A and B are shown apart, each in its own frame.
Chain A
Amino acid sequence: DAEITQSPRHKITETGRQVTLACHQTWNHNNMFWYRQDLGHGLRLIHYSYGVQDTNKGEVSDGYSVSRSNTEDLPLTLESAASSQTSVYFCASSESAGGYNEQFFGPGTRLTVL
């Protein structure tokens, strides 16, 4: 069965360190998204990609970067982790951009920055 996985599931790091969160999907979807979820807020879009070599900034992209070298993977890098980046991070994918295209979510990565 097709799926979307994230690793690690839990990560504790220190302020200033570089951290990379992995996202891998076997749906063969063109579109991939990274969100963060914090109490009291809806899911907020960090970065997204509509295909290989395509990346775009979302609502809260400062301090984050992504790269898309193949269809399956969209790693998210925190260049210099800050305590404000403590959050739960979800990766999602969808077949195409518009209309009725549900997004399928990975299980999430809980990141703590000390």
Chain B
Amino acid sequence: GQNIDQPTEMTATEGAIVQINCTYQTSGFNGLFWYQQHAGEAPTFLSYNVLDGLEEKGRFSSFLSRSKGYSYLLLKELQMKDSASYLCAVMDSNYQLIWGAGTKLIIKP
């Protein structure tokens, strides 16, 4: 079966750095996406990785290791507005997105 695992909840302090991990087992791989979802709102796109390595976009970076079936999202200089759920999704061999259940990130002052 296809599976995406990520922690259910994480807590971090404003101004700090947090790393949200995602491991996956899917039928094929055509890229990994990270989305942000604030409570009661729609998911919005953050990043895409298809090759191994780190992609940096401002305060957010995403890393991929295809051989390990592993990715992480790194958030730096945390702000209160970063309190949200972070969804990991893998595009499988049929170009369908398989979604993790999401990691709820709580930022404390």
Contacts and interface: CB of A to CB of B under 8 A. Distances in A.
Interface residues of A, number: 20
Given A102-B33, A105-B43, A107-B41, A40 B101 contact: yes
B31 interface: yes
A108 B42 contact: yes
A41 B98 CA distance: 11
Contacts of A48: 96
A106 B50 contact: no
Contacts, number: 47
A102 B45 contact: yes
Given A42-B4, A43-B43, A103-B45, A98 B95 contact: yes
Interface of B: 4, 30-31, 33, 41-45, 48, 50, 87, 89, 91, 95-102
Interface of A: 40-45, 48, 58, 90, 97-100, 102-108
